[in-house]
Amino acid sequence: MKLQIKIEDGAPMLFFLDCVNNDKTIDCFSLKTEHVTASRAYMRKLKSPETAQEKNEAWGLLKYYADLNPF
């Protein structure tokens, strides 16, 4: 699974690069929106986690998502 983490409105968002939909969007997940889709162009406009706080929040979101979807 290819995963990209970006920051949207100050909060981390997971982008699942392998989950391509018929309309060429990709699946995403954040605490605010849960499961949604977005274009790759939108994802590229967002910044990557840079600060220690953003990186910690990104890891927290990834753990939260993994706990919701155990394999």
Q: Where in the chain are the domains?
A: 3-68
pLDDT above 90 for 7? yes
Q: What does the block give as tokens for 15?
A: 């982008």
Q: What is the pTM of this model?
A: 0.89
What is the DSSP secondary structure assignment for residue 47, as one 8-state letter? B
- Residue 56 pLDDT: 96
Using the structure block, give the residue that is written with the tokens 């990104």: 58
pLDDT of residue 33: 84
Query: pLDDT tens-digit profile of 27-51?
Result: 999 998 888 999 999 999 999 999 9
Percent of the chain exceeding pLDDT 90 equals 82
The span from the CA of 12 to the CA of 28, in Å, is: 11
Confidence of residue 71 (pLDDT cuts 50, 70, 90): low
